[in-house]
Structure 1
Amino acid sequence: MDIIIQQAYLPQDDPDAAIAFYRDILGFEVRNDVGYNGLHWITVGPPGQPVSLVLHPPAVDPGITDDERRVITEMMAKGTYAAINLGTKDLDGTFEKLQAKGADIVQEPTDQPYGVRDAAVRDPAGNLIRIAQMQ
C-alpha cells in the first residue's frame, strides 16, 4: 500500500492568531483560507511537504450538543483538547527560534525517559504542539 497522511485537523478560535502562529512562528505556508457564515477553515503546511493541517472552527458539527460545545470550549481554554507531534532535525535550534518569536513555551527541550528528546509549545487556541528531535 502507498498511503500518506494528507491532512490532520486542529481547532482554532481566532483565524488571525492561528495564521500568525503557524505562518510567522512555525514557518508554515498558508495554503487555503475558506470563510463560510463568519467562520474560517485555514489550511497550513510545511513548505515542500504534501501534508497539511486544517485549522477549523471548534464544535461546528451540527450533531454536537450545546453541552458538548461548552466542554470543547472549556478544554481548549485549558489546553487539553487537541495536540499534534512534529519533528525537526535541530530541536535546540528550532526551540531557540520559537522562543525568540514569542511562542507559548510549555516545555524546553528534554530527554524523555521513553527515549525521545522533545519540547512543547501551545498555539493560540491552546493546542499542544510537541516537537521531537528526529534522527
Structure 2
Amino acid sequence: MIRIAMTSVYVDDEERAHAFYGDVLGFETRTNLDLGGARFITVVAPGQDVELLLEPGDSPLAEQYRRGLREAGLPCIVLGVDDLRAEHERLSGLGVRFTQPPTEHGPVLSAVLDDTVGNLVQLTQPLARDREAAPGS
C-alpha cells in the first residue's frame, strides 16, 4: 500500500513558518535539524502521521511557483477542520489575515488565509447535506 508520508510547502522564512504553523495553526514539530545554513523542519497535525516540510522557497523555481499560485489566488495546500467558523474566529483573533471568509462551495465550507511566509492556505470543512429531499417526497 502506498500512502503520503510527507509533502512540502515553500516558505520565505523557515523559522517564521515554523512559528506560524506551530504556534498559530497548532501543528506539532516532528523534525527540526540544522543543516548548516538551512534547516530541515517538518510539522504534523496532532494525531496524524503525514509530515509537512517547511521547504526553503528561495530558488528561482520555487519563487516562480509561489508567485504564480498567489497571483492566481490559489492555495498551496488545503487543510481540513471540524468547525471552520470557530477556526476562522480563533485565527482572526490571533491576527491571521483571511483573503476569503468562510464560504459555501457545494459540499464544503472553505476559507483562505495568508500564512505570512508567502502562501495562501485553504481551510475546508465538509458540510452535512441534511437539506436533500427524503426518498419518496
TM-score (norm 2): 0.78
- Secondary structure at the counterpart of residue 4 of structure 2: coil
Q: Which amino acid aligns with 2:115?
A: D
Does 2:21 align with 1:29? no
Partner Cα separation in structure 1 for residue 62 and residue 51 of structure 2: 23
Partner Cα separation in structure 2 for residue 120 and residue 3 of structure 1: 29
Can you list the C-alpha shifts for 1:25-52, whole angstroms capped at 9, x where unaligned? 1000011112223112210011111111
Aligned to 1:73: 63
Q: Give me the identity figure in percent.
A: 35
Segments of 4+ in structure 1 off by > 6 A?
none
Shift of 1:119: 0.5
Q: Which consecutive residues of structure 1, in runs of 5 or more, have no partner in the other structure?
A: 61-68
Query: Aligned-pair RMSD on alpha carbons?
Result: 2.2
CA contact (8 A) 1:107 1:119 kept: yes
Aligned to 1:97: 90
The count of aligned residue pairs is: 124
- Secondary structure at the counterpart of residue 111 of structure 1: strand
Q: Which amino acid aligns with 1:107?
A: Q
CA contact (8 A) 1:76 1:125 kept: no
TM-score (norm 1): 0.79
> Closer, same or farther in 2 for the Cα pair 1:124/1:41, shift >3 Å?
farther
CA contact (8 A) 1:77 1:125 kept: no
